Amino acid sequence: MTFESFSLKNSASNSLWQNTWRRFRRDRLGLLGLSLLSLIILSVVIGPFLYTVPIDAIDFGQASAPPSWQHPFGTNDLGQDQLARVLFGGRISLTVGITSMVVAIFLGTTIGAIAGFYGGLIDSLLMRLTDLFLSLPQLPLLLLVVYLFRDTIKAIAGPELGIFILVVVVIGGLNWMSVARLVRANVLKLRELEFMNAAKALGASPLRLISVHILPNVLGIVIVAATLAVGNGIITESTLSFLGLGFPPDVPTWGQMLFQAKDYLTWSPHMALFPGLAIFLTVLSINYVGDGLRDALDPKTRR
């Protein structure tokens, strides 16, 4: 590749992302979601360093106290500060959502690209595997897998890291199917285009065709799917924790806080309000960002 062609390729790529950002900025809900999501991420990353109240300090004299200047989000049944726990738990919930998204996107993109590129028997086998996973009831299967393997993984990797690995693998392993179908459909279309035939004629290997010529052209739908997968991962982790099959009780994820607050809704609704609001705002902002990216990356909306 000559320097001139490399420069042209880079300038075209930069122009594409500049146009995408320009279209995204016109979406008010997308910008609102991006701003809110950025604020939440900054809060959970920087917040614990600024708000230094311990998350495990027990004070029965302040048990189930309502929001006040001393405790802006109130306290739980043990007198532990809710704001500190929401900030700390947000790190875990967001990490689970992002990591499970990486697992789901990697599996879905790989399977979809291979199925669409090779076609034939490989395509049929991989798509039947996808249909099989789609037909499985997700929540009961999640509960069953976590219940069966949580003690084993805890013994191997410890109670916190073991549950983290198990939850991430299970959530990501059961959410790749829609990504695989989207990638496969686009690869089937791309492999028949002229630039693919030219690359084959020049002797490009299948690995190079997929990694260099196909995957960059499906990056848009993968990015959109990734944003939505983060929200789905957060919701699923919260569901597992709420049902008592997630992280240990001393690890304050948002779902675990809701689980602990369920018995105090009558006289201490703030115990469930703030972690529930954190989940709601995070997932809502992620969905707004995903919708904005989908419209910005859609070729039909380009002018």
pLDDT score for 104: 92
How many structural domains are present in the chain? 1
Tell me the pLDDT of the chain averaged across its residues: 83
pTM score, two decimals? Answer: 0.81
- Asked whether the beta carbons of 239 and 174 are under 8 A apart, the reply is no
CB burial of 140-149 (b: ≥16 within 10 Å; e: otherwise) equals eebbebbeee
Q: What is the pLDDT of residues 207-246, one digit of tens each?
A: 777 777 788 778 878 888 888 888 888 888 888 887 877 7
Written as one letter, the residue type at 74 is G
Among 276, 250, 263, which Cα is nearest to 64's?
Answer: 263
Q: Tell whether 165 is covered by a domain.
A: yes
Question: Can you give the CATH number for the domain in which 252 is found?
Answer: 1.10.3720.10
pLDDT-based confidence at 256, cuts 50/70/90?
Answer: confident
6 has a pLDDT exceeding 50: no
Q: Tell whether 99 is covered by a domain.
A: yes
Alpha helices in 55-137, H assignment, sequence order: 82-118, 120-135
pLDDT score for 1: 47
Number of Cβ within a 10 Å radius of residue 300: 5
- DSSP label of 215: G
The CA-CA-CA angle for residues 284, 290, 295, to 5°, reads 130
Q: Tell whether 8 is covered by a domain.
A: no
Q: Tell whether 76 is covered by a domain.
A: yes
Q: Tell whether 18 is covered by a domain.
A: no
Q: Tell whether 14 is covered by a domain.
A: no
pLDDT-based confidence at 127, cuts 50/70/90?
Answer: very high
pLDDT score for 126: 92
pLDDT-based confidence at 15, cuts 50/70/90?
Answer: low
Q: Tell whether 11 is covered by a domain.
A: no
Top-confidence residue, 151 or 20: 151
Q: Tell whether 163 is covered by a domain.
A: yes
Structural domain boundaries enclosing 143:
33-55+69-301
Mean pLDDT of 53-79: 86
Among 207, 212, 246, which Cα is nearest to 100's?
Answer: 246
pLDDT score for 3: 41
pLDDT score for 300: 53
- Asked whether the beta carbons of 82 and 71 are under 8 A apart, the reply is yes
pLDDT-based confidence at 8, cuts 50/70/90?
Answer: very low
**Distances in Å between the alpha carbon of 267 and those of 44, 68, 80, 257?**
28, 16, 17, 16
